[in-house]
Chains A and B, each alone.
Chain A
């Protein structure tokens, strides 16, 4: 059994940032992830938006954290060399009801300290965003909204954590947790891990991990959403566009990804049984609503659909032999500390990506205070992106070269999808049909070499 000061459970974007920030302190750390790679859950299926902070209740942790973190995102993505674009966003109304929502959000955003937030006319909005449809009556313009590649952000934080001495156990499921006098033991599908503090960042499963040791308090109730990604032949808008519909209910979001594709989604809906499965109703919602917001959208240009899962935290009570939700979903981030040295992030959803580094810093600091650890002067916040290229083009659509693929493999990609998440191969219009085999072979060669 190996001993560490801190064990981080879960290698999503939250766990990766927690791991990175734990190494800002003189604490030995291990990241334990059940899948073969980091960032394979919610971290790879979300809107990719770095929120401005006008959606959150005045004075809430979410509001404060979002505004502060948004402002520091250029620095963060500079440190980690992750593509980030401060494209700005327009929340668009098509009538009087939605306009009152915009006004409410404007007031809220101004109180939250969102910079340069302003209400503009439909005409001004169309000037800023030529793809917007004629019917737009007004828009809430937030220049500070940004977009990032979410899994590249998480992977960068992970690489930075490892470079700074954090160890990683991938393909390792946590099966049980025991409490000792001076810490915890994680029983895993591999070697057991002993540690003095646990940072539970298990995402969708964070409640289950906490309940390995503690009574239920907050449970996660999942819902789902669908997304569509378009070929770059379809122009992407310049800004993130939120459709605030006249009728009640959630409108469409159109995102220009950092790669330059138009992405539509999320279509919020119940889970309908299978997590990570797209639904016809959700995809139809996106296709049907796209023309209300965007001009010249050819839904024949979709190259990819995917589903995401959202963990909605609810306090639960025991009734008639089962734990049932008690009241509405909790609007705030739930940071739980059920016992000394055990910290859980429960149900971190929007704007969790925006706040991932801040949440990680917070958990790391809590652990450092608890373990009375000094700062780690050797910590280096910098991480280098994959810059190596050569003249051998492997992925034609996105023009990804063999050198990039090999570097992705050297940095830990073990599957074609792992390579895709690191360098973007297979994300283009043929969706990997033409480079799949070559990348698979390069992975095999690497595995043979490792044996």
Chain B
């Protein structure tokens, strides 16, 4: 069994920051794992600007990766299957198969996932054309997929707005539907509403989807029928931490980034990652 002082699960903004903080603080035995082939997590698909000083996601990854300590091991293509209270983790990768790793400190940096359409009280059939906003962001920006318009986005938070802007830039018609009484996103993301004259229907939600094989229209809770070939769900994020459900709260476990709490800005994620890296490192040294 391989042993590391610190195991960091997830190489997004939080995990990279934690690995750097621990490595630069002198911790020699750190393993960073991620299920994807490259570091960066969700930042890869964020082609919009707004990270750090007007960077886009991939540029911000480069910034994060700068001065990545040589001593830190990084295993890509690695899914963590289970973590046990005996301080071991079962890893799985097409590169090396199954491997059990023992650790002293665990930093969970697994990010978050989107609330899917199935979780919402939406009536109607289950046609093709319903995605979560982040899923569509990945499909468009990493895989070159172009959704069919008109598009309706449920939820006018930052992710909903970012997708609305991106679709509008491609001349795909977009309507935003928001349950609250005003747009939920940050001011800087709201500019696109006026720039592209994107309709925002407030105080309403999607009540029903219509279409047999393919989505045809959605009906709002006000009874308005909106023609719709693609529905994007952008109603919220849930921390991804089911991996540690059975562990309780052992002192060697540290949560950082969006798996700890949902952050509106990447800087908050980075800070938590750095903090987790420092704490784990100090605990290894016996300072804490």
Please indicate the chain A residues that have their CB under 8 angstroms from the CB of B118 in the complex. 229, 302-305, 431
Please determine whether A430 and B123 come into contact, CB atoms closer than 8 angstroms. Answer: no
Given contacts A274-B125, A430-B116, contact A391 B139 (CB under 8 A): no
A283 engages B116 (CB within 8 Å): no
Please name the residue on chain B nearest to A278 by beta carbon.
B123
B187 interfacial contact with A, CB 8 Å? no
Give CA–CA (A400, B124) in the complex, Å. Answer: 29
> Total A-B pairs in contact (CB under 8 Å)?
85
B-side binding surface: helix, strand, loop or mixed? mixed
Is B81 at the interface (CB under 8 A from chain A)?
A: yes
Contact indicator B116/A303 (Cβ below 8 Å): yes
Interface residues of A in 228-250 (CB under 8 A from B): 229, 233
From A229, A280, A437, contact of B123 by CB (8 A): A280
B113 touches A434 (CB 8 A): yes
Question: With A and B bound together, what is the CA distance between A268 and B113 in angstroms?
Answer: 33
- Asked if residues B242 and A233 are in contact (CB atoms below 8 Å), the reply is yes
Q: Select the residue from B121, B131, B134 with max chain A CB neighbours within 10 A.
A: B121
How far does the alpha carbon of A402 sit from the alpha carbon of B117 in the complex, in Å?
Answer: 25
Of residues 362 to 419 in A, which have CB atoms within 8 Å of B's CB atoms? 390-393, 396, 399, 401-402
Q: Does B190 reach chain A (CB closer than 8 Å)?
A: no
List residues of B (88-123) whose CB comes within 8 Å of A's CBs.
92-94, 96-98, 113-114, 116-119, 121-123
B56-99 contact mask (Cβ, 8 Å, vs A): 1 or 0: 00000000000000000000010101000000000011101110
Taken together as a complex, chains A and B put the C-alpha atoms of A392 and B91 apart, in Å, by 10
Instruction: Output the least CB separation between A170 and chain B (Å).
Output: 16
User: Residues of A contacting B81 with CB < 8 Å?
Assistant: 393, 399
Q: Scan residues 273-288 of chain A and give those whose CB is less than 8 A from a CB of chain B.
A: 274, 276-280, 283-284, 287
Distance of A212 Cα from B247 Cα, bound (Å): 62
B183 to chain A, nearest CB (A): 24
Q: Are A429 and B125 in contact (CB under 8 A)?
A: no
Considering the chains assembled together, what is the distance between the CA atoms of A305 and B113 in angstroms?
Answer: 19
Instruction: With both chains docked as a complex, state the minimum distance between the C-beta of B249 and any C-beta of chain A, in angstroms.
Output: 17
Residues of the B chain whose Cβ atoms lie less than 8 Å from the Cβ of A304: 116, 118-119
- Within 8 Å by CB of A274, from B93, B124, B139, B207, lies B124
Partner of A431, one of B92, B116, B139, B208: B116
Whether B245 contacts A436 by the Cβ 8 Å rule is no
Task: Kindly identify which residue among B92, B123, B131 contacts A391, using a CB–CB cutoff of 8 Å.
Answer: B92
Q: Please judge, given known A-B contacts A392-B94, A396-B79, A434-B135, whether A429 and B113 are in contact too, CB under 8 Å.
A: yes
Flag whether A306 is at the interface (Cβ < 8 A): yes
Contact present for A391 and B35 (CB under 8 Å): no
Give chain A residues whose Cβ lies under 8 Å from the Cβ of B121: 280, 283-284, 287, 305
Q: Which residues of B contact A433 (CB under 8 A)?
A: 113-114, 116, 131-132, 134-135
Complex: chain A residue closest to B117, CB-CB? A431
B113 touches A430 (CB 8 A): yes
Q: A304-B118, A430-B116 are in contact. Are A277 and B124 (CB under 8 A)?
A: yes
Q: Mask for B229-256, Cβ within 8 A of A = 1, else 0?
A: 0000000000000100100000000000
Chain B residues with Cβ under 8 A from A437's Cβ? 135, 138-139, 143, 145
| Chain B 136-152 interface residues, beta-carbon cutoff 8 Å to A | 138-139, 143, 145
Residues in B lying within 8 Å of A, measured CB to CB: 35, 77, 79, 81, 92-94, 96-98, 113-114, 116-119, 121-126, 131-132, 134-135, 138-139, 143, 145, 207-208, 242, 245
Chain A residues with CB under 8 Å of chain B are 229, 233, 274, 276-280, 283-284, 287, 300, 302-307, 390-393, 396, 399, 401-402, 429-434, 436-437
5 contacts between A and B (CB under 8 A): A277-B125, A278-B123, A391-B97, A433-B134, A436-B135
Q: A303-B116, A391-B97 are in contact. List 20 more A-B contacts (CB 8 A).
A: A233-B242, A274-B124, A276-B125, A277-B124, A278-B123, A279-B123, A280-B121, A280-B123, A300-B119, A305-B122, A306-B126, A391-B94, A391-B96, A391-B98, A392-B93, A392-B94, A393-B81, A429-B116, A433-B135, A437-B145
